Amino acid sequence: QVQLVQSGAEVKKPGASVKVSCKASGYTFTGYYMHWVRQAPGQGLEWMGWINPNSGGTNYAQKFQGRVTMTRDTSISTAYMELSRLRSDDTAVYYCARVPIVVVPAAIDYWGQGTLVTVSS
Protein backbone atom coordinates (compact mmCIF):
# COMPACT_ATOMS: atom_id res chain seq x y z
CA GLN A 1 0.00 0.00 0.00
CA VAL A 2 1.05 3.58 -0.57
CA GLN A 3 2.93 5.11 2.34
CA LEU A 4 4.65 8.45 2.85
CA VAL A 5 6.62 8.30 6.09
CA GLN A 6 8.11 11.54 7.34
CA SER A 7 10.96 12.17 9.73
CA GLY A 8 10.37 13.04 13.34
CA ALA A 9 9.64 16.28 15.13
CA GLU A 10 12.32 18.98 15.22
CA VAL A 11 13.08 21.90 17.53
CA LYS A 12 15.19 24.65 16.02
CA LYS A 13 16.43 28.07 17.03
CA PRO A 14 15.61 31.16 15.00
CA GLY A 15 17.99 31.57 12.09
CA ALA A 16 18.72 27.85 11.82
CA SER A 17 17.69 25.45 9.04
CA VAL A 18 15.58 22.32 9.12
CA LYS A 19 15.48 19.41 6.70
CA VAL A 20 12.43 17.15 6.68
CA SER A 21 12.44 13.83 4.85
CA CYS A 22 9.57 11.91 3.28
CA LYS A 23 10.14 8.27 2.38
CA ALA A 24 7.77 6.85 -0.21
CA SER A 25 6.80 3.22 -0.63
CA GLY A 26 4.14 1.17 -2.36
CA TYR A 27 4.31 3.03 -5.69
CA THR A 28 6.70 4.26 -8.38
CA PHE A 29 8.42 7.22 -6.74
CA THR A 30 9.29 8.92 -10.02
CA GLY A 31 5.71 8.82 -11.27
CA TYR A 32 4.40 11.39 -8.81
CA TYR A 33 5.25 14.97 -7.88
CA MET A 34 6.00 15.46 -4.22
CA HIS A 35 4.38 18.56 -2.82
CA TRP A 36 5.01 20.15 0.55
CA VAL A 37 2.24 21.81 2.53
CA ARG A 38 2.47 23.31 5.99
CA GLN A 39 -0.02 24.11 8.72
CA ALA A 40 0.71 26.48 11.58
CA PRO A 41 -0.97 25.67 14.92
CA GLY A 42 -4.71 26.24 14.65
CA GLN A 43 -4.36 27.61 11.14
CA GLY A 44 -5.12 26.51 7.59
CA LEU A 45 -3.09 24.75 4.93
CA GLU A 46 -0.33 26.57 3.07
CA TRP A 47 1.26 25.22 -0.11
CA MET A 48 5.05 25.54 -0.27
CA GLY A 49 6.02 23.95 -3.55
CA TRP A 50 6.75 20.73 -5.39
CA ILE A 51 9.54 18.62 -6.78
CA ASN A 52 9.39 16.30 -9.77
CA PRO A 53 11.33 13.24 -8.52
CA ASN A 54 11.95 12.13 -12.10
CA SER A 55 13.70 15.29 -13.31
CA GLY A 56 14.53 17.03 -10.04
CA GLY A 57 12.67 20.10 -11.28
CA THR A 58 11.07 22.27 -8.63
CA ASN A 59 8.43 24.96 -8.33
CA TYR A 60 8.25 27.00 -5.15
CA ALA A 61 5.55 29.31 -3.84
CA GLN A 62 6.75 32.89 -4.11
CA LYS A 63 6.54 33.33 -0.33
CA PHE A 64 9.26 30.73 0.20
CA GLN A 65 11.53 31.53 -2.74
CA GLY A 66 15.11 31.84 -1.52
CA ARG A 67 14.44 30.01 1.75
CA VAL A 68 13.18 26.60 0.67
CA THR A 69 15.01 23.85 -1.17
CA MET A 70 13.34 20.63 -2.25
CA THR A 71 15.47 17.68 -3.28
CA ARG A 72 15.14 13.96 -3.75
CA ASP A 73 17.13 10.74 -3.68
CA THR A 74 15.56 8.33 -6.12
CA SER A 75 17.77 5.46 -4.94
CA ILE A 76 15.91 5.41 -1.64
CA SER A 77 12.59 6.91 -2.82
CA THR A 78 12.90 9.84 -0.48
CA ALA A 79 12.07 13.51 -0.89
CA TYR A 80 13.46 16.30 1.26
CA MET A 81 12.35 19.80 2.14
CA GLU A 82 14.87 22.17 3.68
CA LEU A 83 13.78 25.53 5.07
CA SER A 84 16.44 28.02 6.08
CA ARG A 85 16.59 31.20 8.14
CA LEU A 86 13.83 29.90 10.38
CA ARG A 87 11.57 32.32 12.23
CA SER A 88 9.08 31.70 14.99
CA ASP A 89 6.21 31.89 12.51
CA ASP A 90 7.67 28.89 10.68
CA THR A 91 6.47 26.76 13.59
CA ALA A 92 4.08 24.36 11.88
CA VAL A 93 3.34 20.82 10.88
CA TYR A 94 4.96 20.13 7.52
CA TYR A 95 3.33 17.57 5.22
CA CYS A 96 4.61 15.87 2.11
CA ALA A 97 1.94 14.82 -0.36
CA ARG A 98 2.02 13.09 -3.72
CA VAL A 99 0.32 14.12 -6.95
CA PRO A 100 0.39 12.01 -10.12
CA ILE A 101 2.54 13.30 -12.95
CA VAL A 102 -0.05 13.42 -15.71
CA VAL A 103 -0.90 15.70 -18.62
CA VAL A 104 -3.80 17.40 -16.85
CA PRO A 105 -3.73 19.01 -13.38
CA ALA A 106 -4.28 16.57 -10.54
CA ALA A 107 -5.01 16.71 -6.81
CA ILE A 108 -3.20 15.17 -3.85
CA ASP A 109 -4.25 11.60 -3.21
CA TYR A 110 -1.88 10.61 -0.39
CA TRP A 111 -0.33 12.62 2.43
CA GLY A 112 2.47 11.95 4.84
CA GLN A 113 1.72 11.90 8.55
CA GLY A 114 3.22 15.33 9.10
CA THR A 115 6.34 16.60 10.88
CA LEU A 116 6.11 19.20 13.62
CA VAL A 117 8.82 21.82 13.39
CA THR A 118 9.04 24.14 16.37
CA VAL A 119 11.13 27.29 16.13
CA SER A 120 11.95 28.71 19.52
CA SER A 121 14.84 30.42 21.24
Partner 1 sequence: DIQMTQSPSTLSASVGDRVTITCRASQSISSWLAWYQQKPGKAPKLLIYKASSLESGVPSRFSGSGSGTEFTLTISSLQPDDFATYYCQQYNSLWTFGQGTKVEIK
Residues that bind partner 1 (CB under 8 A): 35, 37, 44-47, 59, 61-62, 95, 97, 99, 105-109, 111-114
CB of 103 to partner 1, least distance (A): 13
What's the min distance (Å) between Cβ of 77 and partner 1? 19
Output Rg (C-alpha) for the chain, integer angstroms.
14
Contact 73, 104 (CB under 8 A): no
Instruction: Please identify, using beta-carbon distances, which residue of 53 and 114 lies nearer to partner 1.
Output: 114
Query: What count of Cα atoms within 13 Å lies in the side-chain half-sphere of residue 69?
Result: 7
Closest distance to partner 1 from the beta carbon of 43 (Å): 9
Taking the least distance from each CB to partner 1, the nearer of 16 and 109 is 109
- CA distances 42 to 63, 91, 93, Å, are 20, 11, 10
Closest to 95 measured CA to CA, from 31, 25, 48? 48
Closer CB to partner 1, 104 or 121, in the complex: 104
Closer Cβ to partner 1, 35 or 72, answer by number = 35
